[in-house]
Amino acid sequence: MTMQLLSTLNTLAMLTPPQGAEFAAIVPGMIVTLVALAFILIDVFHRKGTPRDYLAYFSVIGLGVGAASSWYLWDGTLEAPTFFGMLYLDRFALFFSALACVSGALAILCSPAVLRSHRMDRGEYYLLVLFSVVGMIFMAASADLLSLFIAFEIMSIPIYVLAGFLREDSRSAEASMKYFVLGAFSAALMLYGIALIYGATGTTNLEMIAQNLYYLEGGEGQHAGFGLAMLGVLLIFSGFAFKVAAVPFHIWTPDVYTGSPTPVVGFMATAVKAIAFAGLLRVFVVAFPLDVLRGGFFGYGWIDIAFALAAFSMVLGNVVALLQNNVKRMLAYSSIAHAGYLLLGFTAANAHPRFFLHNDAILFYLVAYTFGTIGSFAVLSYFSRRGESVETFEDLGQLGIKYPMMGLVMGISIFSAAGIPPTAGFLGKFYIFRSAIDVGMQTDEFSFIGLAILGVLSSVAGVYYYLKVLIYMYMKPEKRAFRPLEHTGPKVAMVVCAVMTLYLGIFPARAIEITQESIIDFQGVSSAVQATLDLGQQALEARQAAE
Amino acid sequence: MVQLTNIFSALVGNPLLAQAAAVGEGGIPWLTLTTFGPLLGILALLLIPRDQVQVLRNVALLTSLGVFAVSIGILVLFDPSLPMAAGEAFTFQLTEGPYEWIPSLGVSYALGVDGFSYWLVMLTTFLMPLAIWSTYSSVHENVKEYMICLLFLEVGMIGALVATDVFLFYIFWEVMLIPMYFIIGVWGGAERVKAAATFFIYTMLGSILMLLAIMYVYFQAGVQTGTFSFLYTDILAADFSATEQFWLFAAFFLAFAIKVPLFPFHTWLPLAHVQAPTAGSVILAAVMLKMGTYGILRYAFPLFPDALKTFAPYIAVLSVIGIIYGAIVALVQDDVKKLVAYSSVSHLGFCVLGLVAMTPQGISGAMYVMLAHGIATGGLFLCVGVLYERRHSRQIADFGGVASVMPMFATFFMIITFASAGLPGLNGFVGEFLSIMGTSQSHFLWFETPFGFIKPENAGSGYGVYELSAMTDVAIGSSRQAGPEITAFIFTIFATSGVILGAAYLLWMFKRVMFGSVVHDEIRTMPRLSAREIGVLVPIVLMAIFMGVFPKYFLSRMDPSIHQFLTYMDQNVTEANTVVVEPLDPTWVPQGSMIDLAKERRNER
């Protein structure tokens, strides 16, 4: 009774309309939405038969403004959720909205030539990407399971369509169908989980879920609702695991990656994974604090489930990728392995409130992964002419020699993905394994160090298949000649990705600082985590003062 | 200029550049110039069109010569007589930094050289122009990329040698792999792809485990000292339990042992050597293998002195197996290049054996083997390259009687072969002799087996200092025990037989290739050495002779570092040293080599 009263009071307190500066919470999302809506109008007046490249460039500019707006809002964040308790405006959300915009812009740059060569130069394409980015921006900012789920669907549905955008290509249609059916299923699971959580706690607000779970857990005699809540947690976790493509929710990945248009795969592999991790962090850190839920699943917490998923994803992703001879399929399995590394970082950083600052490793890894992965997909896009696109390893023969710039970009991206210095990917892996080692040493739990060892060993297997790309590009004879899609877009994307990958690998200081600021400004956490964040804030200020 | 750099650094938001600019006003950053000098050449190469092959080659050669010229500055400015810092394992000179690089991780940009590393830097910069010059007639395709790879490789190698921040070291250590992978894989022989992949994966496997160990050491040092930093001196301050030392040493040593390569981790080497183009083989054998032994000396030993005591006898066994096995396998090779590759396994065995002996002679011998092997084996690969360009074969059976056609080449080849075989008066002899001598005097290469070799009551549990006093007859009598020396003696016997085998396979190869009657008609038409080839081989021959005749020039400049290293090792072993040791003056300045010192002290008595 008390609990319900309390939650009602809290809810009432939160049901206030946004005022003044609080409107800033929707600025990045609204910018991208307005650009997308403008496109609907512009496309009406488009003269038939002329190329639609200008739409691509407009959307890149729009996404650039969206990303820049995050930068302007960086110092004006809010402590409490706004918009009737639906959205946070913190640096964590801003970081991910910028990342989604950048990833979308890079993917769009690769697109026009590919679409034209497939005779699918349609304005809807850019619209769908933009709407997906809108969903991503709001998902990272969600403070409520409902807004989270709606954002989740706004993000996902355009991508189901984009996967099947080359409708004359049967594999593209197959990819779209598979992705849609499985994705809808996982969304349903997630919604079911949300319903169970609501049934158990009487609220969908993340912070209040945490409070009410605390009452439900109530020492020895647990409330019957606690079991329901635990089932809900499990279902929500599996929904996220599907989006990040973690084993055993990875089955869709290889087929969808192989069939979808190459630029879309670049977008799907980076932005969706990044935002799914943002949502995962937000929901599980804010709503399901471990000190309440530890041991909820027959003695195990969700952290142990994440641990197991990390181990399986790293090993299975890397081992199965060894056996592939289609480049996109190989990259699909390698993205499963990357999900494993990220889950390793997630597990280590959230094992205990005092390690929470280690979440910056995930953020840095996602940035490094975004630039590295889109770089390699941009190269593949450049060679994906209708009917003669580069697909298998043999198709890559001598490409590096014939097109030195493509070879260089692919090399940098591949070395980054394999985690070899001086690229951003190395630093990302270093950061992730560093947090695992630190946690393992401080808690005297060998399991984390063991997982880190498993991670580096599987990444050696990873090196083998990544090298295969370079072996074919530089050392094997040419099998057939490919005509590249002469277009500036993919070239620009390639240069940006390669330069950023090297820059983040050699001068990472500022980027690391940004990830740390994003984590320190994470809102909605429990008091134990907040204490860690305050310590981190002090350390950061001391370091900045010293400089 | 400084202002420009400041503006630039403000633009990119990096404090490192601003600090670097501030230091630029003080003195010339010799080490940075040497390390990143090749990058200027790479930038120039990028601007030159691909079809200007000769220009590309000349620019690369000039760059490497420029880097060599800059590195002469290091040779001149390095002062071996400077007093050694007490309580430290190494004293770095010409230091730059530490400048903050990634402040939140405690990573800094710090460079420095000591008596060990600056010789290896000199070796690298000395051989690089020769390697580049040797490619003028052998590489005709993708010359631009080849030269970029070679110069990029030089950046990685020099950087790994001069870095005094462990993270920075690791970055350079991995960066070396990328160009070498392409050099083998793109410009190599028939099986190049397999060779390149094997090389990469092997090295990666070792080094990535080392990376985890580095992180562990970093956190442990951070917890103990309060500052989380990858600086070498900070890392060295950490203490580890016996178990930790065991596993960490294993992780570090595995990475270095693969690189050396120590038996049984050597299987990548013959493949990579045989498939690599000549310049690649030269650099691989002469410098990259030394990274392994250098890493052992710099990182694995001083960080984990207790674990070394556990591992040393086993490492010694592996080295001796490597010496003999490498020699025997080299004896039966039909392929000249493969023979030289296996001879590397054998020679590097002497190096590791000298290192684990932990005596002054052993360490200086190991260092000398590193340098001498670099010169001699580099020279051998160049000679094989000369033969291959003429005959397009490396099979010993395809040659015979070359000496009668190419007399000058025969002379050079002979001197280099003798240098490699360890003929007194040439460089190979000094190193192998000192390693073997150091091993014979080692007091802790013992281990308990069912067959005996039981540890005597008061065998030296310390390292070098005890050996020094034993060598100078100060503590003879009470402390000298029979037990450990028998094992050391057995190691010595096997190692010495390796020298004999080494002479056998090299001289036999030389006889079959160069002497005898000319069987194949192609030999008769082989052109004599061109002026360029003479120019490549003469510096090597001269250096081999110089190092053989004046070893003191090199040894006396290493000795202070060796002395300091051994003192550090001795002081940092956890078990109390049971032998009375002559106290050491921290400001001790050597007058000559360690051997001279021993003679002097004996005369005084």
Q: How do residues B437-490 score in pLDDT, each as one tens digit?
A: 888 877 666 554 444 333 433 444 444 333 333 333 333 333 334 445 667 778
**Amino acid, res. B269:** L
Q: What whole-number distance in Å separates Cα of residue A264 and Cα of residue A277?
A: 19
Are the Cβ atoms of B171 and A438 closer than 8 angstroms?
Answer: no
What are A57-87's pLDDT values in tens digits? 999 999 999 999 999 998 888 888 888 888 8
Residue A196 DSSP SS3: helix
Closest residue of chain A to B182, computed from CA coordinates? A474
CB nearest to B175's CB, from A422, A456, A508? A422
Q: How crowded is residue A123: how many other Cβ atoms within 10 Å of its Cβ?
A: 15
Q: Is the dihedral of CA B194, B195, B199, B202 positive or negative?
A: positive
Verify whether the Cβ–Cβ distance A510 to B177 is below 8 Å: no
Chain A nearest-CA distance from B448, in A, is: 32
Q: What is the pLDDT of residues B479-534, one digit of tens each?
A: 334 445 667 778 888 888 888 898 899 999 988 888 888 888 888 888 888 888 89
Backbone angles phi, psi at A532, to 5 degrees: -60, -45
Distance from CA of A411 to the nearest CA of B (A): 10
Q: Is the CB of residue A348 less than 8 Å from the CB of residue A435?
A: yes
Number of domains chain B is built from = 1
Q: Which of B45, B191, B216 to mutate to test the interface with A (most CBs of A within 10 A)?
A: B216
Q: Which two tokens stand for residue A384?
A: 């994906």
Query: By C-alpha distance, which of A237, A352, A255, A354 is closest to A297?
Result: A237
| Three-state secondary structure call for residue B449 | strand
DSSP letter at B580 equals -
Q: How far apart are CA A200 and CA A212, in angstroms?
A: 9
Q: Do B16 and A453 touch (CB under 8 A)?
A: no
Interface A:B, Cβ pairs < 8 A: 100
Residue A219: per-residue pLDDT: 56
DSSP letter at B584 equals P
- Asked whether the beta carbons of residue B219 and residue A453 sit closer than 8 angstroms, the reply is no
Query: CB of B485 within 8 A of CB of B459?
Result: no
> A430, A458, A514: best mutation site toward chain B, by most B Cβ within 10 Å?
A430
Distance of CA B398 to the CA centre of its chain: 33
Alpha-carbon distance B291 to B259, whole Å?
7
B601 pLDDT higher than 80: no
Task: State how far the Cα of B73 lies from the Cα of B71, in Å rounded to an integer.
Answer: 5
**Minimal CA separation from B135 to chain A, in Å:** 19
Which single residue is written with the structure tokens 């087929």?
A255
Disruptive mutation site among B105, B144, B240 for chain A (greatest number of A CBs within 10 Å): B105
Q: Which of A429, A463, A535, A547 to mutate to test the interface with B (most CBs of B within 10 A)?
A: A463
Measured at the alpha carbon of residue B394, what is the angle toward residues B390 and B400, in degrees to the nearest 5?
75
What's the whole-number average pLDDT of chain B? Answer: 80
List chain B residues with CB under 8 Å of A434: 105, 215
Looking up tokens 């090295």 gives B203
Indicate the DSSP class of residue A477: P
- Within 8 A by CB and 6+ apart from A530, the residues are none
Q: Which residues of B touch A509 (CB under 8 A)?
A: 13-16, 100-104
CA distance A541 to A399: 49
Put simply, the answer to whether A433 touches B215 (Cβ < 8 Å) is yes
**Most A CBs within 10 Å, among B184, B194, B215, to test the A interface:** B215
Given CB atoms, is A512 within the 8 Å cutoff of chain B?
A: yes
CB-based contact A438 B219, cutoff 8 Å: yes
Q: Two tokens at B512?
A: 């079959």
Proportion of chain B above pLDDT 90, given as a percent: 24
- A535 interfacial to chain B (CB closer than 8 Å): no
Instruction: List CB contacts (< 8 A) between B197 and chain A.
Output: 464, 467, 471
What are the DSSP calls for B361-401, one per residue?
HHHHHHHHHHHHHHHHHHHHHHHHHHHHHHHS--BGGG---
Within 8 A of B105 by CB-CB distance, chain A residues are: 431, 434, 512
Instruction: Write the Ramachandran bin of A342: left for phi over 0, alpha for psi from -120 to 50, otherwise beta.
Output: alpha
Q: In this structure, is residue B266 part of a structural domain?
A: no
The complex scores an ipTM of 0.87
- Give the span between the Cα atoms of A73 and A537, in whole angstroms: 19
> In the Cβ-directed half-sphere of B469, how many Cα atoms lie within 13 Å?
20
Question: Among all residues of chain B, which has the CA nearest to that of A516?
Answer: B104
What is the spatial distance between Cα A326 and Cα A236, in angstroms, rounded to a whole number? 33
Identify any residues that bridge with A385 across adjacent strands, giving them in sequence order: A388
- C-alpha torsion sign, points B300, B302, B307, B309: positive
What distance in Å separates the CA atoms of residue B556 and residue B130, rounded to the nearest whole number? 27
Q: Do the domain assignments include residue B126? A: no
pLDDT digits (tens, 9 = 90+) for B288-308: 999 999 999 999 888 888 888
Instruction: Report yes or no on B604 lying in a domain.
Output: yes
Residue with the larger pLDDT of the pair B585 and B114: B114
Is B268 within a domain?
A: no
H-helix or E-strand spanning residue B95: strand B93-102
3-state secondary structure of B589: coil
Most confident of A190-199, B399-408, B559-568, B577-586: A190-199
CA distance A357 to chain B (A): 12
A466 interface with B at CB cutoff 8 Å: no
Q: Do A437 and B181 touch (CB under 8 A)?
A: no
Across the interface, of B103, B193, B204, the residue whose CB is closest to A463 is: B204
- Please give the full DSSP string across A418-456, using - where no structure is assigned: HT-TTSHHHHHHHHHHHHHHHHHHHHT-HHHHHHHHHHH
One-letter amino acid for residue B398 of the chain: D
Q: CB of B367 within 8 A of CB of B119?
A: yes
Going residue by residue through chain A, which has 547 residues, state the pLDDT in tens, using 9 for 90 and above: 455 555 555 555 566 677 777 888 889 999 999 999 998 888 888 888 788 888 899 999 999 999 999 999 988 888 888 888 888 989 999 999 999 999 999 999 999 988 888 888 888 899 999 999 999 999 999 999 999 999 999 999 999 999 999 888 888 999 999 999 999 999 999 999 999 999 888 888 888 888 888 777 765 556 677 778 888 899 999 999 999 999 889 999 999 999 999 999 999 999 999 999 999 999 999 988 877 676 666 667 788 889 999 999 999 999 999 889 899 999 999 999 999 999 999 999 988 888 999 999 999 999 999 999 999 999 999 888 887 888 888 888 888 888 888 899 999 999 999 988 889 999 999 999 989 988 988 888 788 889 998 998 898 888 888 988 888 888 888 888 888 888 888 899 999 999 999 999 999 988 999 999 999 999 888 888 888 899 999 988 888 887 7
B363 lies in some domain = yes
HSE-up (13 A, CA, CB side) for residue B109: 21
Q: Determine if residue B401 is left, alpha or beta; phi over 0 gives left, psi from -120 to 50 gives alpha, anything else beta.
A: left
> A405 at the B interface (CB within 8 A)?
no
Chain B contact residues (CB < 8 Å to A):
12-16, 100-105, 142, 145, 170-171, 174-175, 177-178, 181-182, 185-186, 192-193, 196-197, 200-201, 204-205, 208-209, 211-212, 215-216, 219-220, 223
Nearest Cα neighbor of A373 from A241, A497, A504, A272 is A497
Set of chain B residues whose Cβ sits within 8 Å of the Cβ of A507:
12, 14, 16
CA torsion angle A436 A438 A442 A446 (round to 10): 40
Task: Sort residue A444 into left (φ over 0), alpha (ψ -120 to 50) or beta.
Answer: left
Summary count for chain A: helices (H), strands (E):
23, 2
Q: State the smallest CA–CA distance between residue B1 and chain A in angstroms.
A: 21
Residue of chain A with shortest Cα separation from B202: A460
What is the gyration radius of the CA atoms in chain B, in angstroms? 24
Burial group, residue A303, by CB count within 10 angstroms (0-12, 13-18, 19+) = middle
Specify the amino acid at residue B233: T
Interface contact A474-B186, CB threshold 8 A: yes
Q: Measured between CA atoms, how close is A91 to chain B, in angstroms?
A: 19
Range of the domain at B383: 332-337+354-605
In a domain, B105, yes or no: no
* Closest CB to B182 among A430, A441, A474: A474
**Can you give the pLDDT at residue A241?**
93
Q: State the best of A460, A465, A478, A537 to mutate against chain B, taking most chain B CBs within 10 Å.
A: A460
Residues 325-344 of A with CB under 8 A from B: none
Q: CB-based contact (8 Å) between A547 and chain B?
A: yes
Q: What is the pLDDT of residue A376?
A: 93
Query: Tell me, what's the pLDDT at B144?
Result: 86
Is B526 within a domain?
yes
- Dihedrals phi, psi of B599, to nearest 5 degrees: -60, -45
